[in-house]
Structure 1
Amino acid sequence: MQSLFNNFSSIIIFLHVFSAIIWVGGMIAIRFAVHYSMQKVEEPKIKLGRTLENLQRFFSMVIPSIVVLLITAIIMIIALGFKGTSLYSFVIAKEVIWTIMTLVFIYIYIRRNQAQKAFDNLDFPLAKQKLEPIAKILIPLNIVLGLIAVYLGVTLRGF
């Protein structure tokens, strides 16, 4: 791992940071730009359909980002020798946060798929019910956690 990191550290760090930008930045864009613009759509069927499509497109970017984030994190943790240092608690805190975010993301993914099934069965109230906590609770929670993780990453990089 050390050799891999030494030879490709700039690429590994770039991919790690870029993946975090895609995930956290994408959630911010969806919650504070796309969500509010969707509120202007008056036809419930169109609004639900577009919301489901937007989330699906978001997932197609975020899932690879989560995988890249995990791989690059493991490489950096091993190569930079954080274990046994005073900074290791920051590393653990950051990884716990990303793990919680991943679990929340999986829950969002499941709820979105349930909403899609309800939508396909023309059960629009159920589809809306499945989507509501995503915008109101789950994405805002992951935004806050993601920003904390990014701050911890910047803190680690500064040491």
Structure 2
Amino acid sequence: MQTLFNNYSSIIVFLHVISAVLWVGGMIAIRFAIHYSIQDIQEPKIKLERTLENLRRFFNMVIPAILIILLTAIIMIISLNLKQSSLHSIAIAKESIWTIMTIVFITIYTKRNKAQKYFENNDFDNCKKQLAPIAKYFIPLNILLGVIAIYLGVTLRGF
């Protein structure tokens, strides 16, 4: 693993950072741009349909990013010997945040899939009930955690 990191450290760090940017930046775009533009749609069925489609496309982009974050984090923790470093606590805090974010993401993913099933059965009220906490609580929470994790990552790279 050390040789891999020594030979490809720039690529590994780049993939880690760009994946974090895609995940956190994607959530910011969904919450503060797309969410509000969808609110202008008057027809409830179309509004729900667009929301479900946007989340599906977001997941297609973010799932590989989450996997890349995990893989590159493992490579960096092992290669940089962070367990033996004074930076170990920062690395643990950062990876704990990404773990919490992943759990929240799985919750979002599950709620979206339940909402899709309700939508397909023309149960728009339950569909909306599944989607509402995603925009109101889960995405804002993950944005906050993601910004903190990115800051900790910058702190780690600065040392």
Give me the TM-score of the superposition, normalised by structure 2.
Answer: 0.99
SS in 2 for 1:122: coil
Once the two structures are superposed, the pairs formed by residues 46-57 of structure 1 within 5 Å of their partners are 46-57=46-57
**2:121 matches 1:121:** yes
SS in 1 for 2:15: helix
Runs of 4+ aligned structure 1 residues displaced above 4 Å come to none
Partner in structure 1 of residue 42 of structure 2: 42
**Cα separation, 2, equivalents of 1:30 and 1:50:** 12
Structure 2: segments with no counterpart, 5+ residues: none
Partner in structure 2 of residue 140 of structure 1: 140
**Cα separation, 1, equivalents of 2:106 and 2:33:** 22
Report the alpha carbon displacement of residue 103 of structure 1 after superposing the two structures with TM.
Answer: 0.3
Deviations 1:95-153 (A, max 9, x none): 10000000000000000000000000000000000000000000000000000000000
AA at the equivalent of 1:157:
R
Q: Which moved more, 1:83-92 or 1:97-106?
A: 83-92
AA at the equivalent of 2:124:
F
**Cα separation, 1, equivalents of 2:80 and 2:104:** 28
Report the alpha carbon displacement of residue 84 of structure 1 after superposing the two structures with TM.
Answer: 2.1
Report the alpha carbon displacement of residue 86 of structure 1 after superposing the two structures with TM.
Answer: 1.3
SS in 2 for 1:83: helix
Structure 1: segments with no counterpart, 5+ residues: none
Q: Paired residues, what number?
A: 159
**Cα separation, 2, equivalents of 1:99 and 1:155:** 19
Report the alpha carbon displacement of residue 85 of structure 1 after superposing the two structures with TM.
Answer: 1.6
Partner in structure 1 of residue 72 of structure 2: 72
Once the two structures are superposed, the pairs formed by residues 1-159 of structure 1 within 5 Å of their partners are 1-159=1-159
Deviations 1:32-61 (A, max 9, x none): 000000000000000000000000000000
RMSD: 0.4
AA at the equivalent of 1:45:
K
**Cα separation, 1, equivalents of 2:130 and 2:96:** 27
AA at the equivalent of 1:12:
I
**Cα separation, 2, equivalents of 1:130 and 1:81:** 43
AA at the equivalent of 1:103:
I
Give me the TM-score of the superposition, normalised by structure 1.
Answer: 0.99
